[in-house]
Chains A and B, each alone.
Chain A
Amino acid sequence: MESYGRTSPLMALALAFVAVIWVSPFAWLVTTAIDPKTTGVLEIPRAIGIDNFVSALSGTAGLQFVNSVWLSVGTATLTVIVAGAAAYPLSRLNLPGRNLLLWGLVLLRLLPSAGIIVPLYFSALSLHVLNNVGVMLALTVLNLPFALLLLKNFFDSVPIELEEAAYVEGANVWQIVTQIVMPLSRSGVAVVWFFSFTSAWNEFLLPLIFARTDTAFPMSVGLFAAFGQHGAVDYGFLAAYSLVYAAPAVIVYFLLRRNLNTGFAGVGVKG
């Protein structure tokens, strides 16, 4: 029974052990963040307070939080709109060589993004977008191949008959797209939005090179700059900052979890 039946107590114990090991670095982060008097050693907090969180959300740190939100929501929304608008025609119209094109683009994206950073940098410089808007545009370009492929595969699984029926009933293109196609593709769009959001939220290398002042940094570069500084390390501040930085990615995942699971089934393992 062991490989597909009920779990034995020994197995449950082993799994519990794995779970404890997995969350223990995270536990350190939490106990350090809520303890204003922390020294960075793992221990029961000597005091509990929100001082660390206050300093992680005020001044420059707060500005960096706003930068990250603006950057990630902007990138994800732009990616979904641009990719969705192109993926739907790609799925519906019989364009020759479309699959070859899509896989070719995905192959192109295997290039480590660091490899095209120099051309990206010079282009952003000449277009005067050497800032978070530039990062947003660059990330959208980089996200596009995977977003197109995933959304096209997803639209392929939405039956066209519904659209044709609506057309016969006299609905126009805009009504069909907004009232039939979009509601049916919610989970595919959620997957792409989520992946674009987290990749932008995570992105480190592009803003490291594009953003020059600490008030323009998103949180990834802000955190790196803060713990890269030598001298006395303020573990309480860094831990609180880390939690603030990690929270949106975790929250967005759990909000979209149901959509994501169906979306995974639809687009995840399809060739």
Chain B
Amino acid sequence: MASQTSPWLRSARGPMFVAMLPAIVLIVALIYFTGWAVTYSFTNLELTGPNSLNWKWIGVDNYVRLFTRQGFLSSLWVTVIFTFFSAIVGQSVFGFVLAAAMRGLRGWGRTCVEVALMLGWLLPDIVAAFLWQATTTDIGFVNTLILQPLGFPPYDFLANYALVVVIVANIWKGTAWSYLLFSAALDSISREILEAAKVDGATGLQRTWLVTLPIIRPHIATNMLFITIWTFTYFALIYALTGGGPGSSTEVLSIFMYHQSFGVGKLGYGAAISIAMVLIVGVLSVFYLRQLKEPK
């Protein structure tokens, strides 16, 4: 730790405080914006019309509306399904399996698979959305390459299984992150421990379950924390791919909030939705952080 008494730091104090000023200004702005958003959630502010100027305090009405009106609860359910299957099951489990499978792989084989995974991760959201829209329509390559040669009629997946397409697209896009993190975690486990477990007669499955997973538990929690937050509040890919439809079958909370705020124009209600999202993500984060802190 830096000691306060070092002459170098004493001489540098002044310039250091000056250097911090721009960041302080922007941080104050961020806190101010957030406070403003919280304030909106207790008003009936709207984007246009009389309530855009003469808004009133309406207490917790917006929050009551979350549970009494149609929309929020069903959107929450879609979000939970999307997050659970695409992030927690898809990206995390698949990322771990790939990292474990690639442990012994070196050289160009490893590079090829890694580059393939990274391409999905590096592509901008809107490109991924365009790609998956083009892939899963009735003339997309899933149809031309797989279904038609097998004699099936063309099928428009995006119109019929929108949520599944969105989940698969997100697994395709996000697995690289989990893979990279688990790959680094597995590299940190010494071979001696695994050798010892093997000598003691543990099977491959037992070694994974009883030795590897407990050791990389903090990495699992870190990974879960990040991908849950990202996936729960994901907007661009889903919005560009389906716009929340057909109907409201893929209307996750971020899209629901966008529609309520800028489509319907109810800025106050939209703010309440985003505060509710923050609370849910906050509870999940505390859960993961406890897993992270717990002694091994």
Contact = CB atoms under 8 A, between A and B. Distances in A.
Interface of A: 1-7, 11-12, 14-16, 18-20, 22-26, 28-29, 32, 39-43, 82-83, 85-86, 88-94, 105, 107-112, 114-120, 123, 140-142, 144-145, 148, 160, 163-164, 166-168, 173, 176, 198, 201-202, 204-205, 209, 219-220, 223-224, 227-228, 235, 238, 242, 245-246, 249-250, 253, 264-265, 268-269, 271
B127 A11 contact: no
Contact of B124 (A89, A107, A220): A220
A202 to B, nearest CB: 5
Interface in B264-296: 267, 270-271, 274-275, 277-278, 281-282, 285, 292
Given A164-B8, A204-B125, A220-B126, A118 B23 contact: no
B144 A167 contact: no
Contacts of A145: 27, 30
B236 A202 contact: yes
Nearest to A2: B204
A112 B123 contact: no
Interface centre among B15, B16, B118, B261 (most CB of A within 10 A): B16
Contacts of A205: 235-236, 258
A116 B33 contact: yes
19 contacts: A3-B208, A3-B212, A7-B109, A15-B109, A20-B116, A22-B119, A86-B24, A88-B16, A105-B30, A110-B278, A111-B34, A112-B278, A115-B37, A117-B261, A148-B23, A164-B6, A228-B240, A246-B124, A249-B124
Contacts of A40: 134, 139
B120 A120 contact: no
Nearest to A87: B23
Contacts of A238: 130, 134
A112 B127 CA distance: 22
B22 A85 contact: yes
Contacts of B208: 3
A253 B119 CA distance: 10
Q: Is the interface of A mostly helix, strand, loop or mixed?
A: helix
A114 to B, nearest CB: 6
Contacts of B12: 92, 173, 176
Given A19-B112, A23-B119, A141-B26, A114 B104 contact: no
Given A42-B144, A94-B2, A3 B30 contact: no
Contact of A141 (B30, B145, B281): B30
A18 B133 contact: no
B93 interface: no
Given A167-B7, A173-B11, A144 B27 contact: yes
Counting chain A CB atoms within 10 Å of each CB, which of B222, B257, B274, B277 scores highest? B274
A5 B191 CA distance: 10
Contacts of B119: 22-23, 26, 250
Contact of A115 (B29, B109, B123, B277): B277
B219 interface: yes
B181 interface: yes
Given A112-B277, A160-B2, A253-B118, A119 B262 contact: no
A57 to B, nearest CB: 16
B82 interface: no
A111 B194 contact: no
Contacts of A105: 27, 30
Contacts of B185: 269
